[in-house]
């Protein structure tokens, strides 16, 4: 019985990966517009769920929005996504990608969005220039450690950098160690 369930889940996961719509040879500008639209929809959803986020993002030095898709099949998993980082001061847009590797027990498929808020130029520049690697879990407390301010619903992930995460759809049961990398998309910049 367990073997049949495992085979079914394996076939289901492969079918989902193979049936995921593949973008036709869209132009660079069409792909950029698609990412901008995803970012706008994600921010509107965040603002609806956490109204205080809008003021925090608009007053920040910059922000980044990513749409991520992930899977987990027993001991291994992974995911990928795309996004955009925006400098609120200059209006500059930097298109980015993300990749994720999971090791640990779990099973599922999920789609989620991540929004980073950068309080300082240094945090924004470091994220966009060097990329960023993330492992483990963030703390539940969301204070800046200086003035005691917080961004409701966000967590501090690095000095001057906050993160919101929203699950879009999917179901996943997992206990994992994750490694996530964010980096520039050389084909869109």
What is the average pLDDT value for the chain, to the nearest integer? 76
Residue 61 and residue 56: Cα distance in Å, rounded? Answer: 10
Per residue in 13-65, pLDDT (tens digit) is 444 444 444 444 579 999 999 999 999 999 999 999 889 899 999 999 999 99
Q: Is the pLDDT of residue 109 over 60?
A: yes
pLDDT for 101: 82
Torsion over CA: 53, 56, 57, 62 (sign): negative
What proportions of the chain, in percent to the nearest 5, are helix, strand and coil? 30, 45, 25
- What is the per-residue pLDDT for 156? 75
Query: Per-residue confidence at 2, pLDDT binned at 50, 70, 90?
Result: low
* Cα–Cα dist 147/127, whole Å: 23
> Angle at which helices 52-59 and 28-49 pack, to 10 degrees?
130
């Amino acid at each position: 019985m367990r073997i049949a369930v495992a085979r079914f889940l394996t076939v289901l996961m492969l079918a989902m990966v193979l049936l995921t719509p593949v973008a036709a040879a869209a132009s660079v500008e069409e792909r950029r517009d698609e990412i901008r639209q995803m970012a706008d929809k994600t921010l509107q959803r965040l603002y609806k769920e956490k109204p205080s986020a809008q003021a925090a993002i608009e007053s920040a030095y910059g922000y980044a929005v990513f749409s991520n898709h992930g899977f987990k099949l027993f001991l291994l998993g992974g995911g990928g996504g795309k996004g955009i980082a925006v400098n609120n001061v200059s209006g500059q847009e930097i298109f980015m990608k993300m990749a994720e590797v999971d090791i640990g027990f779990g099973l599922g498929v999920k789609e989620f969005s991540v929004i980073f808020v950068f309080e300082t130029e240094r945090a924004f520049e470091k994220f966009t220039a060097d990329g960023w690697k993330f492992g483990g879990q963030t703390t539940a407390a969301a204070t800046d450690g200086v003035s005691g301010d917080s961004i409701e619903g966000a967590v501090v992930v690095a000095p001057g950098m906050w993160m919101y995460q929203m699950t879009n759809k999917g179901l996943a049961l997992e206990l994992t160690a994750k490694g996530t990398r964010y980096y520039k998309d050389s084909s869109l910049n």
